[in-house]
Amino acid sequence: MDNAKRERLEAKGWKVGTVTEFLELSPEEVALIDIKLALSQSLKERRQKLMTQAELAAKLQSSQPRIAKAENGDASVSIELLVKAMLATGATPKDIAQAIARVDH
């Protein structure tokens, strides 16, 4: 957001800040969210090269909509499911660690 727009909003009584500030997230919560998003993105990239969402769902005894949620960073998806899905695509623990290591902190 440019400074002029920020100043106009603040002049009208709006409070301008980041999502982290608005939700009062701790550094640990921000890091956890970033890790989940990195795993989600990595899962999507791997899965698209290897199989359909339905095929991955069958391997995990889950559903295609659940895989879609996992790939799109839905908050209801656990890190455990993301890791399990990555492993089901043939990822190694090293691959998973590399996905997490891409997080900038």
Q: What is the pLDDT of residue 58?
A: 97
**Do 57 and 66 form a contact (C-beta atoms < 8 A)?**
yes
DSSP states of 63-90: -HHHHHHHHTT-TTS-HHHHHHHHHHTT
Domains parsed from the chain with CATH numbers = 26-101 (1.10.260.40)
**Do 45 and 38 form a contact (C-beta atoms < 8 A)?**
no
Q: What is the pLDDT of residue 44?
A: 98
Q: Is the pLDDT of residue 88 over 60?
A: yes
2-59 residue pLDDT tens: 888 988 888 988 888 888 888 888 999 999 999 999 999 999 999 999 999 999 999 9
Of 55, 103, 49, 54, give the one whose Cα is nearest residue 79.
103
Average pLDDT estimate for 67-96:
96
Q: What confidence tier does 105 reach under pLDDT thresholds 50, 70, 90?
A: low
**Do 36 and 73 form a contact (C-beta atoms < 8 A)?**
yes
91-103 residue pLDDT tens: 999 999 999 998 8
What is each CA distance from 3 to 9, 19, 20, 41, 96, in whole angstroms?
10, 18, 20, 32, 40
